[in-house]
Amino acid sequence: MTGFKTLKEKAIAFDRANVDTDQIIPKQFLKRIEKTGFGQYLFYEWRYMADGSLNPTFELNQDKNQHASILIANENFGCGSSREHAPWALLDYGFKVILAPSFADIFHQNCMKNGVLPIALPKEQIVQLLEKGKQQPYQLEVNLEKQTIGDETGFQVSFEIDAYWKTMLMNGWDEIEITLQLADHITAYEQALR
């Protein structure tokens, strides 16, 4: 994972509630052996027509939404199974931040573990952001260090994040990295065993 402190990138208005992990990545793609490459199957059922062509009405397929890395969605994002393939698919597609009024527990955890930043904002703020995002290509600036989100028109709000995960994400550490910093303890434990 590469750490980020601030990120200024395109945001997509994805005005849907209760988006479950089956919709994020359908089960027929779980037999793959890679962690990468799931991006092409992200939102598969919505994104493609029955004949395999792109569904022109789907948010991700609209011209103004290309190369976005921030997803603005509605409540209970990521509900359903515990599959880690969901954050893998989002990340592989290019999403680094997801904004929503609420997230499903396990999905939220899985995102952090995989370097995707899920930010919960009050419903009114999400409604505002969705409106802006629907109009034109829309850019947001996410400052993880200061815990703020803003745009060029002066919109500015702050958000909450667990201190442990903030450190991890800012440094681009994953849990393994953190643990490896304790390698001396592990070695000492192993030596005491002998």
Partner 1 sequence: MGQSIIEKIWEQHIVHQEEGKPDLLYIDLHLVHEVTSPQAFSGLRMKGRTVRRPDKTFATMDHNIPTDNRKVINDKIALNQMTTLEKNCEEFQIPLAGIDHPDQGIVHVIGPELGLTQPGMTIVCGDSHTSTHGAFGSIAFGIGTSEVEHVLATQTIWRQKPKTLKIEINGKRQQGVSAKDVILYVLSQYGFDFGTGHVIEYTGEVIDHMSMEERMTICNMSIEGGARAGLVNPDETTFSYLRGRKYVPTGEAFEQLVTKWQSLVSDEDATYDRVITMDAANIAPMVSWGTNPAMTSKVTDSIPTSSDYETAVEKKSLESALKYMGLEEGQKIEDIQIQHVFIGSCTNSRLEDLREAASVIKGNKVHPDVRALVVPGSQTVKSLAEEEGLDEIFREAGFEWRDSGCSMCLSMNNDIVPSGEHCASTSNRNFEGRQGSGARTHLVSPIMAAAAAIHGHFVDVRKMVERQPVR
Q: Is 27 in the site for partner 1 (CB under 8 A)?
A: no
Residue with smaller CB distance to partner 1, 80 or 137:
80
| Among 4, 77, 88, 103, interactor with partner 1 by CB under 8 A | 88
Applying CB under 8 A, the span of 47-55, 93-101, 121-129, 181-189 interacting with partner 1 comes to 181-189
Q: Taking Cα atoms as reference points, which of 38, 73, 76 lies closest to residue 59? A: 73
Distance CA 148, CA 192 (A): 46
Applying CB under 8 A, the span of 11-19, 43-51, 146-154, 171-179 interacting with partner 1 comes to 171-179
| CB contact at 8 A, 45 and 25 | no
Q: Is 35 in the site for partner 1 (CB under 8 A)?
A: yes
Q: Is 167 in the site for partner 1 (CB under 8 A)?
A: no
Residue with smaller CB distance to partner 1, 50 or 176:
176
**Sign of torsion over alpha carbons 30, 33, 34, 40:** negative
| Residues from 95 through 114 that contact partner 1 (CB under 8 A) | 110, 113-114
* Residue 102 to residues 6, 47, 54, 73, 74, Cα–Cα distance (Å): 22, 23, 29, 9, 8
Distance CA 171, CA 177 (A): 10
Concatenate the DSSP letters of all residues of 3-64 into one string.
--SEEEEEEEEE--SS-BHHHHS-GGGTT-S-SSS-GGGTTHHHHB-TTSSB-TTSGGGSGG
Q: Is 182 in the site for partner 1 (CB under 8 A)?
A: yes
- Shortest distance (Å) from residue 176 CB to partner 1: 5
- Shortest distance (Å) from residue 36 CB to partner 1: 8
Residue with smaller CB distance to partner 1, 49 or 178:
178
Q: Taking Cα atoms as reference points, which of 170, 175, 77 lies closest to residue 126? A: 77
Q: Reduce the DSSP state of residue 125 to 3 states and report it.
A: helix
Q: Is 43 in the site for partner 1 (CB under 8 A)?
A: no
Q: Is 3 in the site for partner 1 (CB under 8 A)?
A: no
Where do contacts with partner 1 occur on this chain (CB under 8 A)? 31-36, 82, 84, 88, 110, 113-114, 164, 175-176, 179-180, 182-183, 185-186, 189-190
